[in-house]
Amino acid sequence: MSNIEVYDKVSWHFPEGQNCPSLKVAKEHFVAVMEWLKENNLLSDEGKEVLELGVDSDFSITSSMLNPKGNEILKKYYLDWLRSIDYTNKPNLTLLNDGLKMTQNS
């Protein structure tokens, strides 16, 4: 049995996190990331199913929700993306897009 890595949880942003004003804002960032993962074919079947259920206060992004390429991208770039979050603006996925391009070109 393999270990499942937890990349992020809604609760780590709100109420536990700093500077996140509401659960709604935290969920918006998770929806944006999950939709980005889906659009770029980085979700596993499990991840697609979980996304269909929706993002709530107990939602988390785990390694089992991603295919190998998705895990590669998040392991390399997700922490930097987290550090760049500005909760006063819509989610900016440029850093993840750039990371995806870099892995496709290598």
| Mode of pairing for the β-strands spanning 6-9 and 60-62 | antiparallel
Element (H, E) at 6: strand 6-9
Q: CA of 27: how far to CAs of 33, 69, 80, 85, in Å? A: 10, 24, 19, 13
| pLDDT tier for residue 104 given thresholds of 50, 70 and 90 | confident
Element (H, E) at 61: strand 60-62
Q: Does position 1 have pLDDT exceeding 70, yes or no? A: no
> What's the whole-model pTM score?
0.93
